Structure 1
């Protein structure tokens, strides 16, 4: 490891699974009880905002009850000890921050945030949100979760692109490799001659695009990789 290395890390649902937060593909989990078109699209929100708020209220409660795991803490330790680490996450939970990470880029928004669909104001979400909640800035009953839904543009893409443009190492942790634009980050990094590594429970659909991969539970393989990088 050298001080000139720039590490860009992308995390997905797999890093939070061992904290009790389910993924899209979990059988019997919260996501399996809903149609994504109903709760994760602008059209679904327009049809039934009450249903969407009920879904995200349940997710918010689930998140508040979860705790950061060893993988979250390991990345925070890497960030604290290495001069240049950027963490980008597809996750909307706050476990990276509660685990000690700083300046995390939430490309799909944040579960603990609220957004006014009318004026664009943002504020901290209460435990429960309702379709009739008024925006504290403009008063419009257009409150929605500050989440990027399917069909919407992810947040902070320019900042992510700038980080990838100068990365010397790109690491994807706990991602399926199926959701774009994040699924294309490995190609962007390789095009700029960065080394690439996948850390996942099992090889993703795009595993062959990485220079190397390590597989197993995130709470085991992420701390081991961080210890190796830091020379512990």
Structure 2
């Protein structure tokens, strides 16, 4: 491993990584929520995973949408709004630039927040394992099959606009602060919809996004809900990438505990083909599957700071715009 949990970055290990990166032509990166934490986005998994009074994970199911589509859409409208208020950080831009400079680079993201897309990461080199908040599809998959279709409109329909009145701005009623730790951006503000003192409207299906193709079924966010299968096109793309020659040189594990499969399994697959593993995380206890091995790198700290530093010999200095476009430039 590279550094001890409390030590500053080990310059010898940094140099070692730079040498390996310069000699690499095929690099896989695996992204997790830690990459977006520096942009100020709250997470809804793990301890304290509440949205208002709801267990957020209980809203992320097909059964929840069938029972109360209005509530589920309010939750996802909040998440879409939060993600659009956040800005891609320097790590997102660094990875996008590496993709442009290295044709053999592929990013597999577990994030649904759209920040990689808004940093203009080349779409062909970005695979979204859990889908995205910023695409929608028809609920009628048998007769209609509309989507997934990109959609960055906020609010997606008028009824899902974020409430702006009746809230006590000093109330500390949410467990999730949107304040960012990224020194490049100003802190975002908590939104009234996360404040349990602001009652939510009871929405009917007619208030919600409707499929423009069949005109009768509801649209849903194109994210993978609990109990649903991961997108087979993404799995097939990543499997093909790992299997094809030449072997992967490096796998970058960025801002993820690498405990959830199948994403975690890609680390072992890449390692079995000779790839060296580089982990960037805030927790030294988040070892890759199989534990640490000789030749691994571990850099502890903020991915928004460390990733551009790691990639700098190939991509140069990263320039972060003051404001990223809401809709990706294609």
Does the pair score TM above 0.5?
Answer: yes
Shift of 1:61: 0.5
Shift of 1:34: 2.9
Shift of 1:164: 2.5
* Residue number among 229, 232, 251 corresponding to 1:170 in the alignment: 251
Which range moved further: 2-11 or 73-82? 2-11
Which ranges of structure 2 fall in alignment gaps of 5 or more residues?
Answer: 1-20, 161-204, 318-330
- Counterpart of 1:111? 133
Is 2:312 aligned against 1:227? Answer: yes
The 8 Å contact of residues 12 and 89 in structure 1, kept in 2 or not, is answered as: yes
Which one has a larger percent strand, Structure 1 or Structure 2?
1
Q: Secondary structure at the match of 1:115?
A: strand
Q: Secondary structure at the match of 1:83?
A: coil
Is 2:55 aligned against 1:55? Answer: no
Shift of 1:47: 1.8
Distance in 1 between residues matched to 2:51 and 2:241, nearest whole Å: 31
* Residue number among 26, 36, 52 corresponding to 1:16 in the alignment: 36
Distance in 2 between residues matched to 1:217 and 1:224, nearest whole Å: 11
Q: Secondary structure at the match of 1:9?
A: strand
Is 2:184 aligned against 1:128? Answer: no
Distance in 2 between residues matched to 1:18 and 1:92, nearest whole Å: 15
Q: Secondary structure at the match of 2:270?
A: helix
Give the aligned length. 232
The 8 Å contact of residues 281 and 300 in structure 2, kept in 1 or not, is answered as: yes
For residues 164-204 of structure 1, give each alpha carbon's deviation from its aligned partner in whole angstroms, at most 9, with x where no partner exists: 23422111101122222112111111122211111112235
- TM-score where L is the length of structure 1: 0.88
- TM-score where L is the length of structure 2: 0.64
Choose 1 or 2 for highest CA Rg.
2
Superposed counterparts of 1:55-204, under 5 Å? 55-103=75-123, 104-118=126-140, 119-122=144-147, 123-125=149-151, 126=153, 127-128=155-156, 131-132=205-206, 133-155=209-231, 156-166=234-244, 167-203=248-284
For residues 86-116 of structure 1, give each alpha carbon's deviation from its aligned partner in whole angstroms, at most 9, with x where no partner exists: 1111111111122231112111111111111
Which one has a larger percent helix, Structure 1 or Structure 2?
1
Q: Which protein has greater RCO, CA pairs closer than 8 Å, 6+ apart?
A: 2
For residues 114-161 of structure 1, give each alpha carbon's deviation from its aligned partner in whole angstroms, at most 9, with x where no partner exists: 111203311233423574332111123231111111121222110011
The 8 Å contact of residues 10 and 88 in structure 1, kept in 2 or not, is answered as: yes
